[in-house]
């Protein structure tokens, strides 16, 4: 046997060592990439709400707030439940609408429109809001939360989102 041939031969022990090292590297890469994807998924995930059709635009009178309730599916693992949500819709003109989340920005209580006072009133802590959602009185830290909307095929469509309560900034919940 030649010395050069001997160096090119891989012993059984060396082959087993290379194989075990390769398997270990493969497992480490698989676990590492899965961990990285899991850790980065909140950054990569799409938020931004749920599209909801509120109905034909003809169902909303100009300048008169209307409460609209609708279900939103909430998925928790394998369980899907429908939560009942509400928004207040104010029709500005033929094509423009303002849509407010129907929760007070103070503690999330439901508020109502008072036609006599021409204000949104929160009965829990005395929060008061104007027709355009600005705070008129009480403890709410910011104006009412507005939602994006558009008219599609004669229907008012919103992008329903919820926001953190009790803070001055509008931050997604």
Please spell the DSSP secondary structure of 74-92, one letter per residue. Answer: EEETTEEEEEEEEEEEEE-
CB 55 within 8 A of CB 155: yes
Strand-pair category, 79-91 with 66-76: antiparallel
Quick one: which of 149, 170, 132, 126 has its CA closest to 53?
149
Residue 137 structure tokens: 């009185």
Q: Whole-prediction pTM value?
A: 0.71
Taking a C-beta distance cutoff of 8 angstroms, is the pair 72, 49 a contact? no
- pLDDT tens, residue order, the chain (173 aa): 555 555 567 788 888 888 999 999 999 999 988 888 877 766 655 456 789 999 999 999 999 999 999 998 888 878 889 999 999 999 999 889 999 999 999 999 999 999 999 999 999 899 999 999 999 999 999 999 999 999 999 999 999 999 999 998 888 87
Residue 154 in contact with residue 104, Cβ under 8 Å? no
Residue 31: Cβ within 10 Å count: 10
User: What pLDDT sits at residue 99?
Assistant: 97
Using the 8-state DSSP alphabet, how is residue 142 labeled? Answer: S
Supply the pLDDT for residue 165. Answer: 93
Q: Identify the pLDDT of residue 13.
A: 84
pLDDT of the residue at 21: 92
The answer to whether the Cα torsion of 62, 64, 65, 70 is positive or negative is negative
């Amino acid at each position: 046997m030649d010395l050069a041939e001997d160096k090119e031969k891989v012993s059984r022990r060396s082959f087993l060592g290379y194989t075990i090292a390769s398997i270990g590297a493969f497992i480490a890469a698989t676990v590492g990439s899965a961990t990285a994807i899991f850790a980065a998924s909140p950054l990569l995930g799409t938020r931004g709400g749920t599209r909801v059709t509120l109905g034909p635009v003809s169902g909303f009178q100009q300048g008169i707030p209307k409460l609209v309730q609708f279900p939103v599916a909430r998925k928790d693992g394998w369980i899907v439940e429908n939560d009942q949500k509400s928004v207040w819709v104010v029709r500005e003109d033929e094509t423009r609408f303002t849509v407010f989340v129907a929760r007070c920005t103070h503690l999330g209580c439901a508020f109502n429109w008072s036609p006599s006072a021409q204000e949104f009133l929160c009965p829990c802590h005395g929060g008061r809001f104007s027709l355009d959602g600005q705070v008129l009185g009480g403890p709410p830290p910011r104006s009412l939360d507005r939602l994006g909307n558009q008219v599609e095929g004669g229907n008012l469509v919103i992008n329903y989102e919820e926001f953190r309560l009790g803070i001055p900034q509008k931050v997604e919940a």
